[in-house]
Structure 1
Amino acid sequence: MPEPEKRSDKFRWIYALWLLPFLAQNWLYWLHPQWDWWTISLIIWVLTLIAVAGSLCINLALRRWRRLVSLLIAPLLLLVLLHILAAVGITSDSVRFALTKQTYLAEIERTDLPGGEQRFRTFVWDDTFLEKTYSTLVYDESDEVALPRGEQSTAWQQRVQTSCSEKKECVDLDPGPDEYVSVRKIGEHFYILDNYLPNAFP
């Protein structure tokens, strides 16, 4: 008759769930952006590390090899699943945008413009700076924000300058030498502009 320890030594997919608290902040931080997500991220990282280390030690001591392997592999399978979802366009940003799109459209519709002028608005998307990145949601009816830098029309540049000076809604496609900017489309006329500062502290 097999020992109880051996009978319980099975591959367990549930170990993949240990990554969920760590990953959830990328999906949920925007619900409470005023929270201190740096501290929350650190606490989650430390608790996850302690839990994984403790489980590794216990399974090593009890020689539960299948559990040990599942502890190492199951989280990787979860990451693979997330990459597959991202490849088909399902990301934390796309889900958030789908849930909040109508709010932004309602705000844009209230924008009064001279006849024929194309709308241009910006909204804070992520200012927690968790990955040394500030992200801005841009609504550009002309879609020129997605053009390579320097190919925007004079009218677009004037429109952006006016928006920045009058409404403090600014877009800088030509940042300093220690900054990087990328633009990705999230919806019709909607873009996310990421301003990455790799040398920023911490």
Structure 2
Amino acid sequence: MTGAENSAPSIPATAAPSRFPIWLAAIGLGVPLALILFAASPLGPDFIYVMVGIPALLFMWAIAGAGAVVVSVRSAMRKEWRRCLIALVLPIVLLVVALDPFRFVRSCNYIGDVVHFIVSKPYYDREIAALPSDQRPRLVVFDWGGMAWASSGLVYDETDQVSLPKGRQSADWLAAASHSELSCEGYGVQPLWDHYYLASFPC
């Protein structure tokens, strides 16, 4: 019996595949999500957040990218090719973002602003509906704040003249705009829907 047991073929132990670091995935996905959520919040135009918070988040993202490279190399050495390729996704994304980081931040800010608008639209609709009936054209600027030299906000313009080239607006529209941030030279707008526009003011 003992000899038979000793002669039985042994099953080689196989090492369990290593798990992908959860913290790496959390930071990789969490930083862009945080940029969007902060942009959608009142903190978005805050000076300290813009000058310190955004760079800190991007730096954390870069550290996570370096960690992902280490994980990818180690996985390749162990021939864990699937884990290796998954870990390479974040470094590749970071390389693309590094080509134009400002565009990436602006994209996150835009998505955050749209989220802010969708959440708050019932409030803005009530404010527009409460305007005096003789106030025409209905042109309202909702200031979201910003720096001393630049700010952002939301514009409601039922005539949509805010999107026309300079000099194409009517006299009534110019008179209404003269009492708002739209009097700033060089403002920019991006259309949303229902006569609403995201706006940036250089003042």
TM-score by length of 2: 0.64
* Cα distance change on mapping 1:171 and 1:133 into 2, 3 Å: same
Structure 2: how far apart are the matches of 1:54 and 1:149? 50
Aligned-residue offset at 1:171: 0.6
The one-letter code matched in structure 2 to 1:60 is V
Structure 1: how far apart are the matches of 2:122 and 2:19? 50
- How is 1:69-148 mapped onto 2 (pairs within 5 angstroms)? 69-73=85-89, 76=93, 91-112=111-132, 115=134, 117-125=136-144, 127=146, 134-148=151-165
- Give the structure 2 partner of residue 200 of structure 1: none
Structure 2: how far apart are the matches of 1:9 and 1:170? 53
- Give the structure 2 partner of residue 156 of structure 1: 173
Structure 2: how far apart are the matches of 1:49 and 1:24? 15
Structure 1: how far apart are the matches of 2:118 and 2:63? 36
Give the structure with higher Rg (CA): 2
Aligned length: 170
Matched, 1:37 2:43: no
Matched, 1:182 2:188: yes
Deviations along 1:133-159, one digit per CA (max 9) or x if unpaired, are 732210112211111222111121112
- Give the structure 2 partner of residue 170 of structure 1: 181
3-state SS of paired residue (2:128):
helix
Structure 2: how far apart are the matches of 1:187 and 1:173? 23
Deviates more, 1:45-54 or 1:23-32: 23-32
- Give the structure 2 partner of residue 66 of structure 1: 82
What is the RMSD of the two structures over their aligned residues, measured on CA atoms? 3.8
Deviations along 1:110-143, one digit per CA (max 9) or x if unpaired, are 3336x262211101246269xx973221011221
3-state SS of paired residue (2:165):
coil
Contact kept, 8 Å, 1:183 with 1:194, in 2: the verdict is yes
Structure 2: how far apart are the matches of 1:125 and 1:48? 27
The one-letter code matched in structure 2 to 1:40 is G
- Mark the runs of 5 or more structure 1 residues left unpaired by the alignment: 80-85, 176-180, 198-202
- Give the structure 2 partner of residue 22 of structure 1: 32
Contact kept, 8 Å, 2:155 with 2:198, in 1: the verdict is yes
Structure number with the higher helix fraction is: 2
Deviations along 1:142-192, one digit per CA (max 9) or x if unpaired, are 21111122211112111211xx2xxxx2214742xxxxx432211211111
Contact kept, 8 Å, 1:16 with 1:71, in 2: the verdict is no
* Cα distance change on mapping 1:126 and 1:151 into 2, 3 Å: same
